[in-house]
Amino acid sequence: MSLLRRVEQAQRRADSDVPAVPEEQPAAPRKAAPQPAREAMLAEIRGRVQGEVIGAFQSLLDVKDPADVRSAIATIIDRMITKHGFSVTRDERLALVEEVVHEVTGLGPLEPLLLDPTITEVMVNGPNQVFIERGGKLLRTDVVFLNNDHVRRIIDRIIAPLGRRIDESSPRVDARLPDGSRVNAVIEPLSLVGPVITIRKFAAKPFTVADLVGFGTGSAEIFDFLRHCVWARLNVFVSGGTGSGKTTFLNVLSSFIPEDERIVTVEDAAELQLRQEHVVTLEARPANAEGTGEITIRDLLRNALHMRPDRIIVGECRSAEALDMIQAMMTGQDGSLSTGHANTTQDMLRRLETMILMSGYELPLSAIREQIASAIDLIVHTARLKDGSRKIVNITEVYGIEDDEILTQDIFAFEQTGIGEDGKVLGELLPTGIRPTFMGVFAASGLDLAPGAFGIPPEDPTKPARRGKERWAIGGIADKPDEARPKIGQGRAVSAGGMVYVSAVGPINPKTGLAVSGDIKDQTRQCVRNLKALLEASGSSLEKVVWANWSLRDSGEFDTFNDEWLRSFPGDAPVGQGTLMPPSHKRAGFRVSIGVIAEA
């Protein structure tokens, strides 16, 4: 049976169930009909046609050829217009056909908005309000739905292929369209204005570096710097407010990952559009109607660690999965990427702390901050400015922890210079003049950068460099000790007046020039060994120490330190006092440093 024949039969069945509508007498053409009256008539036609035609077109949902669908719809609409004597123009008839085609094969009134490449977001606030975002600005459209059921029908059409549901027991849902656009829907009783749909559109073709440079998101030099960071396998976190372009930016960052690496992406609703060949995409699954079968991002992250990934990309950290992401970054998946919502880079760090606490593990805040500081190397903060443009406003290094506070420093910062005549924000992302501690990672990764590249100042041998992260020291990644630099914690012995004065000695391994790892006991023992060597080289010894000065990172560790210190003196220990530890020693990883005065 032909498609048109099936449709006609369905139409006759629908007509037999619908009360007869009095036919309207053909009216003479109106040359100057009031616009509101014309719109009211078209709305009546639209409601009657859609209600009847959609009911007769259930069989069209399985039709594959769009031309057949359009032809059948046009035939039925012409028949209905003739039957009821509607007076419509050719353009109005074509628009009506297009609307019904969208109802049957697409997303109804939203279809033209989704096909418009200039629209980046579509927001449905009930059946009578539809807003769009174009050029970073919100605009209201003249698009309307028939009623709440009409909106619900579109929501069901979006989520049905994904196996998701929305009803009173589960009145919100996250989903995606076939092109990757992100969809969020909320219905009663959560929404008081009717069903609400928010669609974040994705470009059919993923944006490239050239696109973002053209948009003014950042300069070509900035993206070249970030490319080197991805090549050097730094762990990068992208932060920003809602609609600031985090996911788009993450997509571009991920394009820098070499083709020969295995990438595993983990997302709540799959949005990333990676073009590498070796990509495994994992998507979370909500619970079914019985409340079982849920697969969370945390579950997927744990599973990803068993999939031999070179890099893990988490589309967005929103809750307890932040702990698993941080753990992955600390357990061999260097070069991992993720995003999170925050107003500033400092807010992002605080939000990460909160999200990790949501995991349910009783972790002290100091331990959480140590893990964050160790795992994340770089935070790229994006923002949507007042003119609607999306820009990188900060590139911040996370380089350590001191007094239980995470240490950060801006490498690049956006400087606004004014507002243009067209309302555009004027400014540029500029280097701050601070040299990041991870510069040695570039050289170890085979990335030779010229001095002063990207506006980053070259290394100054007269200034003590901040110590890089411990994991960079594996395989010689960290900067090598420079003989021209002042020695932090190495101590210096001076003989005068029959006495030997030794400045602060830290728990330095003489072979590496770095602080030994371990607790206060291990570091105290190393300090004593270093003191002993300096004193003996100056013609003295530990037995001749008459006075000591120590500084502790944590005053609560004094008893443990003192027990270990007394072990070095079988008789009476020298008198002494404690002082505050200087910041340079804290940054070097010291828990203790000791200075003494001894007889020559």
For residues 322 and 355, is the Cβ–Cβ distance under 8 A?
A: yes
289/404 same-domain check: yes
Is the per-residue pLDDT at 423 higher than 90?
Answer: no
Structure confidence by residue, pLDDT tens digits, 184-206: 999 999 999 999 999 988 776 77
Same domain, 227 and 360: yes
Q: In this structure, is residue 210 part of a structural domain?
A: no
Whether 477 is covered by a domain: the verdict is no
Query: Do 222 and 153 share a structural domain?
Result: no
Asked if 54 and 134 sit in the same domain, the reply is no
Last residue of a domain, one of 169, 200, 231: 200
Dihedrals φ, ψ of 256, to 5°? -80, -10
Residue tagged 């660690």 (tokens): 305
Strand partners of residue 515 = 508
- Do 120 and 95 lie in a common domain? no
Last residue of a domain, one of 105, 132, 148: 105
For 215-237, give the DSSP string. Answer: HTSS-HHHHHHHHHHHHTT--EE
516-540, pLDDT tens digit by residue? 877 899 999 999 999 999 999 999 9
Pick from 46-50, 235-239, 470-474: least confident: 470-474
Count of other CB atoms within 10 angstroms of residue 344: 17
**Alpha helices, DSSP H, located in 429-575:** 439-444, 520-537, 558-566
Which CATH number covers residue 595?
A: 3.30.1330.40
CATH number of the domain to which 164 belongs: 3.30.450.370
- What is residue 410's predicted lDDT score, i.e. its pLDDT? 95
| Same-domain check for residues 195 and 245 | no
More confident residue, 32 or 452: 452
Are 531 and 587 members of one domain?
Answer: yes
- The Cα 381–Cα 244 span in angstroms is 9
One domain for residues 585 and 537: yes
Domain harbouring 238, CATH code: 3.40.50.300
Whether residue 75 is contained in a domain is answered as yes
Q: Do both 278 and 409 map to the same domain?
A: yes
Q: Is residue 461 part of a domain?
A: no
250 and 378, same domain (yes or no): yes
Residues 92 and 135 placed together within one structural domain of the fold: no
- Specify if 207 maps to a domain: no
Q: What is the DSSP string of 253-283?
A: HHTTS-TTS-EEEEESS-------SSEEEEE
Domain count, the chain: 4
Q: Are residues 378 and 290 in the same domain?
A: yes
**Whole-number average pLDDT of the chain:** 82
Least confident of 100-109, 194-203, 266-275, 396-405: 100-109
Residues 260-296 pLDDT 10s: 999 999 988 777 888 888 999 998 887 777 777 888 8
First-residue to last-residue Cα distance in the chain: 112
Q: CB of 546 within 8 A of CB of 575? A: yes
Domain boundary among 167, 200, 233: 200
Nearest to 136 by CA among 393, 424, 428, 341: 424
320: number of Cβ within 10 Å? 17
Cα dihedral value 92, 97, 99, 101, nearest 10: -170
The residue range of the domain holding 378 is 218-455
Instruction: Look up the pTM and report it.
Output: 0.67
